[in-house]
Amino acid sequence: MALDDPRRLIPRTDQLMALPPVRQARDRLSEDLVRALVRETQDRARRGEIAPDEVEPAVLAALGARSASSLTPVLNATGVVVHTNLGRAPLSAAALDALVTAGGYVDVELDLGTGTRSRRGAAARAALLAACPPAEDALVVNNGAAALVLATTALAAGREVVISRGELVEIGAGFRLPELIESTGARLREVGTTNRTHLRDYAEAIGPETGCLLKVHPSNFRLEGFTAGVEVGELRPLARAHGVPLVADLGSGLLTPDPRLPSEPDAATALEGGADIVIASGDKLLGGPQAGLVLGASDVVARMAAHPLARAVRADKLALAALEATLAGGPAPVVRALHADPDRLRDRAERLGAAVGAPVVAHDGRVGGGGAPGVPLPGWAVRLPEAAAPLLRTGRPAVLPRVHDRACLLDLRCVPEADDERLRAAVQTALAALAGAVDSTGGAR
């Protein structure tokens, strides 16, 4: 390198690492990450992308913008309440506070009064039982699929699970219910046909090898037309007569009936109808953290809890704390979004539309997450040019719109009202960038 090469002026790594703001950043970021950001900035200077005297401020800017997590907060303007790609349910303020508390030492398996070990997650279990009175006992595992695997393993490993062919669904990301169940060592005994299953089909299938009867709510699709199915209440006498557990996998996490979703099954009704246990997800319609909920008869829940697999799929202290707080705290964001006032949504949309010079159109939101397929959530959306969508997604804050019919639609159902101004600013920034890009090419706006 020549003596007059400007790259000789690039600050050394030890000089940059000794800067007070860099030392402070090492309290929240790992040493390796800080050094990597420093070297990356130095490499930019070596490539001539920035001048040597710009290295120090660039390092400080990079450190200031970097957090220990790479996850990016997103404003959900799709109108889809339980959005799988955005982490399903956003947690309530009470649940977020509980997560902070649970991040330290907490009495998750300790009775502070006696100083002895207690039942893990007793408070979350009590909150579940209070929220679903027909349940005699409850168990929390790490997700809904784990709850189903534990149930079929504990109740039917090496034996048969009797299930309707019309309920052998694919639950997402390529995972199929038959494969999930068979991985436990249980054997599937399929009854009926894809569109029609009758009580006699179950009766003819039950025998000495039956481990359990399984009812699965096909939550991510609807089958219409020439169809027939058997409800939990109809299966109850059959299951009782043969001493076989009746398991209902509801999926969506609704604990009690919701008039907004009249066709969505709930745990209380299924248990009252005769299910021995129900299985549901905590991060869907319940609006809590990722968890698999098992509620029902105490003897069946005890069989599951005593199985060795229960240890492998148990929920951690963060999920238990957030679940309890979701049940004991105020309405979760999912509940608020499902029951949002359409008039209020329209007012907010019209304010945003007026601020950015865009029309407001009728727009149906969706439950999402496999819940209530086909059920519209009437609302409103601000209609923007389709080209605004990638600018919004990559902006700060990141905004996820719905792209439909060659338009970018912003539905405020799932956007907290406190974020309306942030959303307005993001939209104005995106539209300004879009207008600048169009003008620079000589096109008309």
Residue range 304-325, pLDDT digits in tens = 999 999 999 999 999 999 999 9
Q: What is the pLDDT of residue 7?
A: 77
Give this prediction's pTM.
0.89
Q: What is the pLDDT of residue 175?
A: 76
Residue 361 has pLDDT above 60, yes or no: yes
Residue range 317-348, pLDDT digits in tens = 999 999 999 999 999 999 999 999 999 999 99
Report helix, strand or coil for 146.
Answer: helix
Residue 445 has pLDDT above 50, yes or no: no
Q: What is the pLDDT of residue 226?
A: 75
| Average model confidence (pLDDT) across the chain | 92
pLDDT band at 230 (very low <50, low <70, confident <90, very high): confident
Q: What is the pLDDT of residue 3?
A: 58
pLDDT band at 442 (very low <50, low <70, confident <90, very high): low
For the ranges 75-84, 224-233, 322-331, which has the lowest average pLDDT?
A: 224-233
Q: What is the pLDDT of residue 444?
A: 43
Residue 443 has pLDDT above 60, yes or no: no
Q: What is the pLDDT of residue 2?
A: 59
pLDDT band at 200 (very low <50, low <70, confident <90, very high): very high
Q: Would you list the DSSP string of 294-360?
A: EEE-HHHHHHHHHSTHHHHTB--HHHHHHHHHHHHSS--HHHHHHT--HHHHHHHHHHHHHHHT--E
pLDDT band at 221 (very low <50, low <70, confident <90, very high): low
Residue 184 contacts residue 157 (beta carbons within 8 Å): yes
pLDDT band at 263 (very low <50, low <70, confident <90, very high): confident
Q: Give the mean pLDDT of 366-395.
A: 92
Q: Give the mean pLDDT of 386-394.
A: 97
Q: Give the mean pLDDT of 355-378.
A: 91
Residue 107 has pLDDT above 80, yes or no: yes
Instruction: Give 399's contacts (C-beta < 8 A, 6+ positions apart).
Output: 74, 75, 77, 392, 393, 410, 423, 426, 427, 430
Nearest CA among 190, 256, 194 for reference residue 225: 194
Residue 245 has pLDDT above 90, yes or no: yes
Q: Is 116 exposed, middle or buried (0-12, 13-18, 19+ CB in 10 A)?
A: exposed
